[in-house]
Amino acid sequence: MSVYHDIITWSGNKANFLRDALRRLILSPALSATDIDELTELLKKEVGFTGITRMPIPHAVVNFTKKLPYLVRSFVCSGHLNESE
């Protein structure tokens, strides 16, 4: 099983705002202020705030397999994942 598949499987039952955050982090090495504002809106929507029209874009609609090596390196370098795992 590939790391890509593991990540997708792990995130499959997570909240939509988390899946959107994962997509953003895979597409860019850091979240911008706009990303944080948009994710905050999505979180508020998720917990029941009304009047928020922003819709999450889950990772499933974006093909980011070319970004996967970056993601794996980032996890290994940050200590979130041991190279032996």
The pLDDT value given to residue 69: 55
3 state SS for 31-51: CCHHHHHHHHHHHHHHCCCCC
pLDDT score recorded for residue 68: 56
- Nearest alpha carbon to residue 16 among 51, 49, 54, 50: 54
The residue extents of the domains of the chain are 3-78
How far is residue 12's CA from residue 6's CA, in Å, rounded to a whole number? 10
Q: What is the pLDDT along the chain (85 residues), one digit of tens a residue?
A: 567 678 777 888 888 898 898 888 877 878 999 999 999 999 999 999 999 999 988 765 555 555 555 555 555 455 444 444 4
Is the pTM higher than 0.75? The answer reads no
Residue whose token pair is 């980032």: 74
